[in-house]
Structure 1
Amino acid sequence: MNILVFGEILWDIIEEKEHLGGAPLNFAAHTAQLGNNPSIISAIGRDRLGTQALQELSKLSIDTQFVQVLKETPTGTVQVKLDNGQPRYEIIEKVAYDYISFDEIDTRLLSEYDVFYFGTLAQRSRESRDTLAKLFVHGSFQHIFCDLNLRKGCYSTETITSSIEQCTILKLNDEEVEVVSSLVFDSKSGDPSEFWKLVKDRFPNVEIMIVTLGKEGCQIMTKDVDLHIPAEPCQVKDTIGAGDAFSAAFVSDYLTHGDLTLAGQKANKVAAFVASSNGAIPQLPADFL
């Protein structure tokens, strides 16, 4: 399956060590491990971190034909602090992925892709946000997957609303349900099932909504079903990349086999493995593939 990913390429700086990351990149890397063909639309700086990012993307089997290299703007970085295994982010602004240019994208190639993935962080800047909007106009994808991935100070009600308007599969976590309920629907409900009623009534384009619930697993909803799938037990080391691994496994499994329950179980299993491993993109066991 050919998967096109839009968004940030960045380096997480954790205890002075540099780790390649960004939710779109993590997602793409895991889809590649699961046997798919991902390409990423992003931008990096003409600097050491940008060069290293391209090298790592190649090793991760992520196609880089849509990665733009900017002369005057640095590659993205994030200062990450772990608090009981949970990441806290200081996201540096005015970096390369804030300036993804639509004019540099050969739109004739978009027809080669089955699935399109995006989130909200790269939409914090006008240029990247406008580029994404134009991609929706020019692309024709079987599914559009939005993982909101809300980061403090990097989203708006308008961005969240327009993102939900474009996707066929919406994924968010239980904390984000409360945020979006308040901002978009002026509701105080944090219940995923009640939230789904609001989403499906206002956004009929959304065919599937997934809410990840941490150690409680996940909830998957369509107009016909409301499934709760228990989590896989694991010893958490850090959760960076676990949500992205979940998304990658769900997309890969569901769009191949069409079974929501099995896809949710697979996604929980892969996410648990990543959460119990070091790094956001550990090598997945052979029996996961």
Structure 2
Amino acid sequence: MLVKSVSIGELLYDVFPDGERLGGAPSNFAYHLESQGGASSLVSAVGDDPRGTSAIDSLRESGVDVGGVTTVADKPTGSVVVELKDGHPSYDIIQDVAWDHIDLTADTASSAREADLLCWGTLGQRSCRSLQAHRQLFDLVPDTCLRVCDINFRMHFHSEEVVVDSLKRADLLKLNDEEVQKLRGYVGGFAQNREFLRELRHRFEIQTIVLTLGSAGCRVSAHNTDFKAPGLEVDVVNTVGSGDAFTAAFVMKMLNGADLWDCARHANRVGAYVATQDSGMPTMPDEYRVVH
């Protein structure tokens, strides 16, 4: 099945001590959904600057539809200063940049109305303008569209209003072992992950929740099933983007008819591979694709 995907949110450059790399969770997701054999459209914004031009060119070359990426003349392309410790990142996210000023285009509206899949996060909703763009997009996608929220708590750029609204809209929720602790601070609930995820599903009517656990794999909570799929031990180089790759791999497998166990195993493999690379958007070998 050719999965038509729309993702919305931040498009930016991760600035590492040894150089900068294209990133942003929704952008990483769009890249990896495309590399899995889907058809990705990205909704975001860049500045009228060399970084913005390079970002659009790079994504276009990878096959991502960038018709929904606007140019904001008086704001810079987004950037994040990333520090790595044992391959794991901490972030200093620059404020009032282009992706804080997302507007929907005619191309976006057209893609949204045909979408099989919509993916968003919480960081991309930090400004009023981009929050409004998210909510406009939510209203454009068809009822049959799978709505995927990949929570990304970064610095102080999250609020109870945005988090709860996103939970209410999601069919599938993905979060990691750090984010699940912060989420409890907003919504309360059981201390044990298994019970907490089950409670979340019922409270917010979420069909499937996937909790990633690093090298330990992931936990999947859905109707009539709850399991942990084992991870892979790899030599971690850089985990930036590996969670987004995981999400793209999981939903691509799901929308192509696989059961949740196979989705989890495939996503674990893809996420682990990306963690061994020094880029959130590495070239992916064919063996990791769902649709060849």
Return the TM-score normalized by structure 2.
0.94
* Aligned residue number for residue 30 of structure 1: 32
Task: Please report how far the alpha carbon of residue 96 of structure 1 lies from its aligned counterpart in structure 2 after TM superposition.
Answer: 0.4
Percent of pairs identical after alignment?
Answer: 35
* Aligned residue number for residue 225 of structure 2: 225
- Work out whether residues 68 and 104 of structure 1, in 8 Å CA contact, stay in contact via their aligned partners in 2: no
- Work out whether residues 54 and 64 of structure 1, in 8 Å CA contact, stay in contact via their aligned partners in 2: yes
Alpha-carbon distance change, 109 to 287 in structure 1, aligned in 2, over 3 angstroms: closer
Alpha-carbon distance change, 32 to 103 in structure 1, aligned in 2, over 3 angstroms: closer
* Aligned residue number for residue 204 of structure 2: 203
Task: Figure out how many residues of one structure are paired with residues of the other and give that number.
Answer: 286
Deviations 1:238-288 (A, max 9, x none): 111110110010011111023100010000001111111221111122222
* Partner of residue 6 from structure 1, selected from 5, 8, 11: 8
Task: Please report how far the alpha carbon of residue 201 of structure 1 lies from its aligned counterpart in structure 2 after TM superposition.
Answer: 2.5
Cα distance in 2 between the residues matched to 1:284 and 1:170: 24
1:277 and 2:259 correspond:
no
Task: Please report how far the alpha carbon of residue 5 of structure 1 lies from its aligned counterpart in structure 2 after TM superposition.
Answer: 0.6
* Aligned residue number for residue 174 of structure 1: 177
* Aligned residue number for residue 245 of structure 1: 245
Cα distance in 2 between the residues matched to 1:105 and 1:150: 29
1:62 and 2:64 correspond:
yes
* Partner of residue 164 from structure 1, selected from 167, 172, 187: 167
Cα distance in 2 between the residues matched to 1:48 and 1:207: 42
* Aligned residue number for residue 145 of structure 1: 148
Alpha-carbon distance change, 285 to 103 in structure 1, aligned in 2, over 3 angstroms: closer
SS in 2 for 1:66: strand
Task: Please report how far the alpha carbon of residue 103 of structure 1 lies from its aligned counterpart in structure 2 after TM superposition.
Answer: 6.4
Task: Please report how far the alpha carbon of residue 82 of structure 1 lies from its aligned counterpart in structure 2 after TM superposition.
Answer: 0.4
Cα distance in 1 between the residues matched to 2:280 and 2:191: 28
Task: Please report how far the alpha carbon of residue 108 of structure 1 lies from its aligned counterpart in structure 2 after TM superposition.
Answer: 4.0
Cα distance in 2 between the residues matched to 1:94 and 1:263: 37
- Work out whether residues 174 and 190 of structure 1, in 8 Å CA contact, stay in contact via their aligned partners in 2: no
Deviations 1:45-103 (A, max 9, x none): 01110011111111211101111111111100000000121101000000000011246
- Work out whether residues 236 and 275 of structure 1, in 8 Å CA contact, stay in contact via their aligned partners in 2: yes
- Work out whether residues 157 and 183 of structure 1, in 8 Å CA contact, stay in contact via their aligned partners in 2: yes
- Work out whether residues 173 and 210 of structure 2, in 8 Å CA contact, stay in contact via their aligned partners in 1: yes
- The one-letter amino acid of 2:75's match is T
Cα distance in 2 between the residues matched to 1:42 and 1:100: 6
Unaligned runs of 5+ in 1: none
* Aligned residue number for residue 155 of structure 1: 158
Task: Please report how far the alpha carbon of residue 104 of structure 1 lies from its aligned counterpart in structure 2 after TM superposition.
Answer: 6.2
Unaligned runs of 5+ in 2: none
Task: Please report how far the alpha carbon of residue 107 of structure 1 lies from its aligned counterpart in structure 2 after TM superposition.
Answer: 2.4
- Work out whether residues 15 and 80 of structure 2, in 8 Å CA contact, stay in contact via their aligned partners in 1: yes
- The one-letter amino acid of 1:119's match is G
* Aligned residue number for residue 214 of structure 1: 214
Task: Please report how far the alpha carbon of residue 190 of structure 1 lies from its aligned counterpart in structure 2 after TM superposition.
Answer: 4.0
- Work out whether residues 250 and 263 of structure 2, in 8 Å CA contact, stay in contact via their aligned partners in 1: yes
